[in-house]
Structure 1
């Protein structure tokens, strides 16, 4: 069991994904300062999404999804009033075990690392079919008029274990859908689920000229950072 400083957000960070943050709340300004001063190792912190119906920043473990992703802080720009613009990059998944809101001004979390499950015996033909189908769904999604996050589209040679994250980060998906992808530990299932999500979104756009959002999203509170 390891300990991470924790940054709850109203969105889901995926491994390899880009994370821009505007930090102005006092305790998270302190977190950035401790990361910069190397009081916390490797400029690493944990990001977890807040469940619908809870306010961002709730300290209760029940307010957070139990699977998150570490972020490595990259660029930091200090602004007036000790505010910061921060960019970070998603790294590896963890399972949230316990929240410590007493040892530091910001939240600390006891976590367990969550690697992908041991794959079944390699089946190159199956892997190639799933990879090609996921790329095809991604192309249909964008050809339907939906533009994603403007983040980098993954290289065609990306390993299937990471491809689903890269393709998902280039698309607009709900918090729930992104969380499901983050929590899935079978790479092939994750890739198949992403294909299903992208085909669904593309069909919504073709038929309705809009992508429906879950009703719960209208109750989501904005991030304080």
Structure 2
């Protein structure tokens, strides 16, 4: 089943269940926020976040997506995740600070460049099957164990890794993908994984790779604060 969805190109990858704060200053995206806020109560207030494959972090006013170069040389990935609007703060000059939460994955099937100042896309919703349930259930504890070891390598003290981590395979797969110090390309491949089992299997390889590098160089590649999702300008 397909649907029409406003699209917000960003230099990051959003996953279901993860928080994404944004600072909205460009007029076309202010209009998007005003549109979402004006929707009737009970209507999903969500837009699509799509990572930029190549080019500027903000698209020009019009341009195609889904792997086709846009004006200015911007190219978008085809798989994204919707961001559900949870909190809106309007500033005195008309800008917005918003807090969103990732909700559901989609694939771009076509782009509407004309009807609104911001991009709209025809999207196809992607299910989130576990794959082989037995395989996902077997992989989840292994990924959780390696993830804890990885956190122990990048965090300074045991108190920083004492938080409860999810045991549900799908939730765990999204959390690991969003919080490990991976490239946008790695994260995008994980987002596009067809099921939880394959995402967990890929994460096991990535975490083992990253942990081995950390043990070898005895250094953290980026400050811990940079691993969190920061407020992104539009």
CA change 1:15–1:154 in 2 (3 A) is: farther
Structure 1 counterpart of 2:47: 45
Match of 2:227 in 1: none
Match 1:185 to one of 194, 214, 233: 194
What's the counterpart of residue 22 of structure 2? 21
Distance 1:210 1:91 in 2: 31
Match of 2:139 in 1: 130
Partner of 1:69: 81
Q: How many angstroms apart in 2 are the aligned matches of 1:175 and 1:157?
A: 25
Q: CA deviation at 1:57?
A: 2.3
- 1:115 deviates by 0.9
How far apart, in 2, do the equivalents of 1:129 and 1:154 lie?
Answer: 19
* Separation (CA, whole Å) in 2 of partners of 1:66 and 1:82: 31
Gap regions ≥5 residues in structure 1? 213-222
Structure 1 residues 154, 6: CA separation in 2 closer, same or farther (over 3 Å shift)?
A: farther
Deviation at 1:186, TM superposition (A): 2.0
3-state SS of paired residue (2:53): coil
What is the CA deviation profile of residues 194-218 of structure 1, one whole-angstrom value per residue up to 9, with x for unaligned ones? 1211221122222222439xxxxxx
Aligned to 1:60: 64
What TM-score do the two structures reach when normalised by structure 1?
A: 0.83
Whole-angstrom distance in 1 between the partners of 2:197 and 2:24: 36
TM-aligned CA distance change 1:48 to 1:143, over 3 Å: same
How far 1:155 sits from its partner (Å)? Answer: 4.2
TM-score after normalising by structure 2: 0.80
For 1:152-207, what per-residue CA distance to the aligned partner results, in whole angstroms no more than 9, with x for missing partners? x664332x123200222232221111101100012111111112112211222222
